[in-house]
Structure 1
């Protein structure tokens, strides 16, 4: 098969780019061909491309793309000229031009949409008027026309049913996966701490994600303040690019005099990210909304005990395996979980071990990639 993924394939977009990378690495081994069509803004850093795949960058068309995500005349022209070459066109996410354009051009490809958590209650309420307009214009109709809707879990299944008003026949649950080998051998401990002047005695709480309100930073920051009052050597590392909440974060730090206890280190990639995981005592993501958090899987594969909400995309697995402290979406609950993990080493080891076993058993990319390929084949057009 020749597969085209459509996604803003950048470091800033986070999980979807990583998912495409890992899946592509596996399907290339089986002799399939993969292209990635990525609308880009000048200056954005593209995600690494697996050897054997091809990245096709196309410029976003401004000012329209400032209001309608990823709008790109260049992308449309590429599709119009080349769409007949592909057996599968896999669109990542909804609400943007990349999930509309393939439906505008006659083709015989299998059209696949991965929701990536964008229909949960929190996500739908964000920029609500825009999403209502897109819904009225085309989004419900296109989901019904897609050959395959990939969802990651039963929560997302209910989100789709609520949005459409019925259960589409073309929907299948296929979780995201992890390339386990990349996170089972981490760099030596101490490198990240040395870079950021963190002593061995300090307990590192690591947050990795975009600085966006949906990640639960409004819960995490006041929770950390409570933790710091009881554990003075605790330090919070916020690793991620600004996505609308950095100013509020800096104001909180200033107001509560946390300059030496909360560090904004920007987005970490490649070895820098692994060095942070190697030195972390705890990983935290009290998110309001995630499709399927690759950052959480990376932490769990790295053996770091985690505190997360059940909105990270696989809360049902976490509950079943007791694989993390599942927090309510309240600062008090986040603080309780942080203190439990930092002060109870036996509990921290237990959930870290459970989490690693859960990932190995359920989210190995070799297994997951084959599941998705089989779903492609079920709906492949003659």
Structure 2
């Protein structure tokens, strides 16, 4: 098969780029062809491209793209010239130009849309007026026209049904996966701590994600302040690019005199990220909305005990396997989770082991990639 993924393929976009990377690596290994069509702004750091794949970068067209996400005339021109070369066009996310453009040009390719959690109640309410316009103009119609809608879990199934008002026949549940082998041997402990002046005897809480309120930072920061007096040697590391909440975060740190206890380290990639996971005592993501958090999977694959909300994209698996501390969406709930994991070492080790087993059995990329390939083939036969 000749597959085209459409996504902003940058480090800043986070999970979707990682999902494409791992899936592409596996399907190329099986003999398929993959291109990645990515709108970009000059200066953005592009995500690594798997060996054998091709990245086609298209400049965003400003100022329109400042209002309509990822609008790119270059993308449209590329699709108009080359869309007939592909068997499958896989669009990642909705609400942006990349999920519309393939429907504007006549073609026979199988069209696949992965929702990535963007119909969650919290996500729909964010920039609500823009999404109401897009919904009225075309979004519901496109979901009906897609040959395949990939969702990750039953929560997302409910989101789609609520948005459309019916359950589309073209919708399938296929979870995202990751290349577990990359986390089988982490860097030696102490490298990240040494670089950021964190002592061996200090317990390190790690947050990895964009600095955006949807990640639950408004819960996480007060929770850390609450436990700070009980566990004064605890350090909070916030690793991620600014996405609208860095100023509030810095203001909170300054107001509460936490500059010695909170490290803002920016976005971590590659080896730096693995060094942080190697040194972490606890991973935290009390998110209001996630499509399917690869950061959580990475922490679990690294055997770091996790404190997360059930909105990370696979809360049903976590609950069934007792694979993390599932916090309610409140600062008090997060604080209680911090104390439980950091003070009860047997519990922390138990949930870390359960999480590793859960990820190994359900989310290894070889298993998941084959599931999605089979869905591509089913749709090809029926069209």
**TM-score using structure 1 length:** 1.00
1:227: how far off?
1.2
1:273: how far off?
0.1
For 1:265 and 1:129, the matched residues in 2 are separated by 34
- Who is 2:88 aligned against? 88
* Deviation sequence 1:176-231 (CA, Å, 0-9, x none): 00100111210000000000010001000000000000000000000000111100
- Who is 1:149 aligned against? 149
Gaps of 5+ in 2: none
For 1:311 and 1:50, the matched residues in 2 are separated by 29
For 1:232 and 1:42, the matched residues in 2 are separated by 43
For 2:29 and 2:103, the matched residues in 1 are separated by 29
- Who is 1:160 aligned against? 160
For 2:178 and 2:227, the matched residues in 1 are separated by 31
- Who is 2:75 aligned against? 75
* Deviation sequence 1:47-67 (CA, Å, 0-9, x none): 000000000000000000000
1:45: how far off?
0.5
For 1:356 and 1:30, the matched residues in 2 are separated by 26
Determine whether 1:119 maps to 2:119: yes
* Deviation sequence 1:229-264 (CA, Å, 0-9, x none): 100000000000000000000000000000000110
Map 1:1-382 → 2, pairs under 5 A? 1-380=1-380
For 2:57, what is the secondary structure of its paired residue?
Answer: strand
* Deviation sequence 1:62-91 (CA, Å, 0-9, x none): 000000000000000000000000000000
* Deviation sequence 1:266-300 (CA, Å, 0-9, x none): 00000000000000000000000000000000000
What value does the CA root-mean-square deviation take over the aligned residues?
A: 0.5
1:325: how far off?
0.2
For 1:46 and 1:246, the matched residues in 2 are separated by 22
1:112: how far off?
0.2
1:333: how far off?
0.3
**TM-score using structure 2 length:** 0.99
Aligned length: 382
For 1:134, what is the secondary structure of its paired residue?
Answer: helix
For 2:213 and 2:80, the matched residues in 1 are separated by 37
For 1:76 and 1:178, the matched residues in 2 are separated by 30
For 1:161 and 1:380, the matched residues in 2 are separated by 24
Gaps of 5+ in 1: none
